[in-house]
Structure 1
Amino acid sequence: MGTAAPHPARPQPVEPRPAATVLLLRDSPEGGELQVFLQRRVTGMAFAGGMTVFPGGGVSPDDVPDPARWRGPGPARFGSRLGQPETLAAALVTAAVRETFEECGVLLASRPGCPPVPVAEAPTWRADLEGRRVTLPALLDRHDMELRADLLVPWSRWITPPVNPRRYDTAFLVARVPDGQVADDATTEAVEARWWAPAEALAGHTAGELSLMAPTLHTLQDLARHPSAAAVLDAAARRDISPVTPEVRREGRVAVITLPGDPDWRYEETVR
């Protein structure tokens, strides 16, 4: 009697890379309704190509803040809210500020004792940061500026499912765009970017005009329940945050995504 061949070992899941995403908010200049800044990523990008997303990206080894250049709740407070070690929480907040500046030109930093106003040299600073000629902590120190952690509030934490070959453990944070600053689309990572009312973006997704990942869709659904940026920030301060790892299963040519603890939430994607 022959011996059955052993089943091939399943590959170990990839370790998620820490990342930060910013839900950049404003009240519409026209009607005062809540709006959020969204970007449609370049199709050929390795992660989320062609998807409409919030600004953000992975933590860099250089995202190590200077405590003397930090204004607002300390890293321990962010770590407690996000369920992360203090050192990583500091890096997540720094990455959030860096990515927001790189991807849409909004700088969540200011000179000591001052509001985060537009800075004439910002385009040059942004180019240097994108070109990796300077780190964000070094940039802030060089120009006597503070990282404004007080402008960011944790919202949620999402972890890419284990089946994915590229995984992220992402802190979602909310911030109101500072007065006078303008979010733009001057980034090589996106083909377009603009302000959307959450309900408008959700309608675009339903109509097939926007491609959204499950965390983006769920977050927009949450945001759509609030009438203003102030209401979102108030809700963010009171939220209980637990890591969310979507569950994925195949049903023929359809990938069905569900959320643990929320049996009524379901998202389907056609597998190509």
Structure 2
Amino acid sequence: MVRLPEDLTLPAGFVPPEPPDPPVPTKDAATVVLLRDGTPGLEVFLQRRVKNMPFAGGMTVFPGGGVDPRDADASIAWSGPPPRWWARRFGCSEELARALVCAAVRETFEESGVLLAGPAPDSVVADTRPYADARPRLVSKELSFAAFLADAGLVLRADLLRPWANWVTPEEEPRRYDTRFFVAAMPEGQRADGVTTEAAHAYWSTPEAALEDWRQGRCGLLPPTWVTLSEIAACDGLPAALELERSLGKVLPRLVHRDGAWRAVLPGEPGYEERGR
């Protein structure tokens, strides 16, 4: 795994003065790294979250969010590796695996308008505008993703996703997630947008440019985003990123307070056994 730089610190106020004891339980979540071959090379879709968001406010992230219990609905038309395959890869139950894949597709659609589904098991919609009215209803939970797909006659394309990583929020933070990261190629004909109340800005960038923006102080990155961008930057193009076989063990950073700031330390790095202040 890529080693975090010393100057990657968490924003002021990100960690409470007195971290929760015992730690807050985690919630299951899914994040999708959308990729495309752009003019400057391999690009990723990024969103800068609005500052008043309760989690990661103001930070630059990939689309994603928490699992809705309805995401585990077994009635969803499904194409690609079955839930048992995803369960083996992520080391979880088949029910949770189904929910994670569904949440990944749902959250990507809600937050970027990109829909990894099609009218047949081997097709994907080329224009998502006819489904735009469903996005706010999904966000408000008025509509389940299963009902949306059924009403639209669409099949979830699990085969368009690839498992990438599994990050767990540090124990010192007040909101914690057990997040499975996926990568997916941008479907031909579709457009990613920023039509979401959670993002102040949405854009495509090469991983290298995004990391340079961070170095220049133009954006804030959390450790999982920084590491993922660095890993994607090391891939030789879109096919290489999609075909890469990766270990998916849970990554639980620890937070240490050094030189007046909170820093994340990854397993295997010096100071990982250090705790708190």
Do they fold alike, i.e. is TM over 0.5? yes
| TM-score with structure 2 setting the length | 0.87
Q: Does 1:109 align with 2:117?
A: yes
- Superposed counterparts of 1:88-103, under 5 Å: 88-103=96-111
2:92 to 84, 89, 94: 84
Choose the corresponding residue for 2:158, options 132, 149, 154.
149
Name the residue aligned to 1:14: 24
TM-score with structure 1 setting the length: 0.89
How many matched pairs?
253
**RMSD over equivalenced CA pairs, Å:** 1.8
Unaligned ranges ≥5, structure 2: 1-19, 273-277
**Structure 1 counterpart of 2:203, one-letter code:** R
For residues 221 and 146 of structure 2, the distance between their equivalents in structure 1, rounded to whole angstroms, comes to 32
Counterpart of 1:244, as a letter, is V
Q: 1:60 to 1:234 in 2, by over 3 A?
A: same
Measured after TM superposition, the shift of residue 113 of structure 1 is: 4.0
Task: Measure the CA separation in 1 of the matches of 2:129 and 2:224.
Answer: 35
Aligned match for 1:170, one of 174, 179, 190: 179
Partner of 1:268: none
Distance 1:174 1:151 in 2: 9
Shift of 1:261: 2.1
Show structure 1 runs of 5+ residues with no match.
Answer: 1-9, 266-272
Tell me which of the two structures has the higher relative contact order, counting C-alpha pairs closer than 8 angstroms and 6 or more residues apart: 2
The equivalent residue for 1:259 is: 266
Kindly state the Cα deviation for residue 227 of structure 1 after the two structures are TM-superposed. Answer: 2.7
Residue matched to 1:26? 36
Q: In structure 2, which of residues 55, 64, 67 is the aligned counterpart of residue 56 of structure 1?
A: 64
Amino acid at match of 1:243: K
Cα distance in 1 for partners of 2:75, 2:136 equals 25
* 1:203 has 2:212 as partner: yes
Q: Offset at 1:58?
A: 0.6
Corresponding residue for 1:269? none
Does structure 1 residue 74 correspond to structure 2 residue 91?
no
Shift of 1:79: 1.3
How far apart in 2 are the matches of 1:43 and 1:145?
35
User: What is the CA distance between 1:120 and its match in structure 2?
Assistant: 4.3
State the secondary structure of the residue aligned to 2:146: helix
- 1:113 and 1:157, CA in 2 relative to 1: closer, same or farther beyond 3 A? closer
Q: How many Å separate the matches in 1 of 2:233 and 2:271?
A: 18
Once residues 125 and 226 of structure 1 are traced to their aligned partners in structure 2, the CA distance between those partners, rounded to angstroms, is 35
Query: Quick one: which of 141, 147, 150 aligns to 1:138?
Result: 147
Q: 1:93 offset after TM fit, Å? A: 0.6
The CA deviation string for residues 18-43 of structure 1, in whole angstroms up to 9 with x for no partner, is 00000010000x24x10000000000
Residues in 2 aligned to 1:229 and 1:65: alpha-carbon distance in whole angstroms: 31
Max Rg structure: 1
d(CA) in 2 for partners of 1:125 and 1:168?
26
The 2-side partners of 1:79 and 1:126 are apart by: 28
The aligned residue for residue 235 of structure 2 is: 226
% of aligned pairs identical? Answer: 46
